[in-house]
């Protein structure tokens, strides 16, 4: 029997071995892992946000705008990378500045002030929507300066210098609070730390105040002397009436009163009587 030649050609007839799928999967997984790592690195700062102590966050959504009524509290917060988280300091803060204002008569005043404030946490999203993170410069500083200008513009430098410091601070606070009451900001205190005129004006005002005080003191002394003169006139009229009714001079009456007081004292004494009708008895202390 003849065996075909191709029956012994095993190299050509045997099936090819199957390749493993694991290497191909490893390549694909590595590529996707690199892409994912790139995306995480790219959007890390936009997705992960740390809200520290004393801070609150307001979220702005690209598809919905500012999320009103929602604030992000302390901790690590994750948001979509296409949104933004604005972080606000909600502790009490202080703002210092120096400004020049005009008094009622047009004279310039140099004022250094300090304002303590904080945003209202419950209305933080509304504050962000209306003014944004720069609310201090956009809203607060102009209102404080305007309030100081209003108060100082109603008084002359003499009135301002003669007023109590607490009174000025209180009037400035009242003026500013009326204007910012509608906004989500709490103004705790406004302090006028320094108020200065030019050196010549300060000296002139001080001299005027001293002169006014001297004039008031002189008027007081005049009124006091007038009152004393009235009192003496009334006393003289009373003396004349007494002498007319009693027939005794006021000097003799005073002498009788003094003699009576000495006579009733508990000390031992010697009484010498004589010297005429109009003379008073002489009393001597018996121990001397």
What pLDDT digit, counting tens, does each position of 85-115 carry?
A: 999 999 999 999 999 888 888 888 889 999 9
Say what the pLDDT of residue 196 is: 83
pLDDT winner (highest mean) among 43-57, 58-72, 117-131, 224-238: 117-131
* pLDDT value at 273 more than 90: no
Look at 183 and 244; give whichever has higher pLDDT. Answer: 183
> Range with the lowest mean pLDDT among 22-26, 183-187, 233-237, 270-274?
270-274
Share of the chain above pLDDT 90, in %: 23
CATH of domain 93-197: 3.30.479.30
- Residue 261's Cβ-count burial label (10 Å; 0-12, 13-18, 19+) is exposed
Tokens 């008031």 belong to which residue? 216
Over range 256-274, report the average pLDDT.
61
**Greater pLDDT, 148 or 277:** 148
Residue 212: band (very low, low, confident or very high) from pLDDT cuts 50, 70, 90: confident
Question: CA-CA distances (angstroms) from residue 285 to 81, 87, 257, 288?
Answer: 113, 97, 18, 6
CA angle 180, 186, 188 (to 5 degrees): 105
DSSP state string for 161-185? HHS-HHHHHHHHHHHHHHHHTTSSE
Residue ranges per domain, the chain? 27-89, 93-197, 254-288
pLDDT of 90 = 92
Q: How is residue 136 annotated by DSSP?
A: I
Q: Between residues 248 and 128, which one has the greater pLDDT? A: 128
Q: Does residue 1 register a pLDDT over 50?
A: no
> Which residues lie closer than 8 Å to 169 by C-beta, 6 or more apart?
189, 190, 191, 192
Q: In terms of DSSP H, where are the helices of the chain?
A: 10-13, 22-47, 124-130, 135, 141-152, 157-162, 165-180, 199-246, 250-263
Of residues 244 and 108, more confidence is placed in 108
Whole-structure pTM value: 0.56
Residues in a beta bridge with 66: 60
The pLDDT tens digits of the residues spanning 10-68 come to: 455 555 555 555 666 676 777 777 777 776 666 667 778 888 898 999 998 888 888 88
Work out the percent of the chain whose per-residue pLDDT is above 70: 70
Structure-block tokens of residue 181:
């009451």
pLDDT of 147 reads 93
């Amino acid at each position: 029997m003849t065996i075909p030649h191709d029956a012994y050609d095993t190299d050509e007839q045997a099936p090819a071995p199957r390749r493993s799928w694991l290497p191909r999967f490893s390549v694909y997984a590595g590529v996707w892992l690199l892409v994912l790592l790139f995306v995480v690195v790219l959007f890390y700062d936009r997705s992960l946000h740390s809200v520290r102590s004393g801070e609150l966050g307001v979220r702005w959504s690209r598809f919905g705008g500012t999320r009103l009524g929602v604030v992000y509290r302390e901790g690590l917060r994750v948001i979509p990378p296409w949104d933004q988280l604005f972080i606000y300091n909600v502790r009490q803060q202080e703002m210092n500045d120096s400004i020049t204002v005009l008094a009622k008569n047009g004279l310039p005043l140099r004022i250094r002030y300090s304002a303590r404030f904080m945003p209202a946490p419950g209305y933080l999203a509304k504050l962000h929507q209306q003014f944004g993170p720069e609310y201090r410069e956009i809203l607060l500083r102009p209102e404080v300066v305007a309030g100081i200008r209003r108060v100082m513009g109603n008084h002359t430098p003499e009135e301002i210098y003669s007023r109590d410091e607490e009174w000025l601070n209180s009037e400035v606070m009242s003026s500013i609070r009326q204007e910012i009451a509608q906004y989500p900001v709490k103004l705790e205190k406004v302090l006028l730390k320094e108020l200065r005129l030019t050196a010549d004006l300060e000296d002139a005002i001080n001299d005027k105040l001293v002169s006014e005080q001297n004039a008031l003191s002189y008027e007081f002394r005049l009124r006091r002397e007038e009152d004393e003169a009235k009192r003496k006139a009334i006393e003289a009229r009373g003396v004349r009436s007494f002498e007319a009714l009693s027939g005794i001079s006021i000097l003799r009456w005073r002498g009788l009163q003094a003699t009576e007081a000495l006579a009733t004292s508990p000390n031992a004494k010697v009484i010498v009587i004589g010297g005429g009708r109009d003379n008073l008895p002489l009393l001597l202390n018996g121990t001397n």
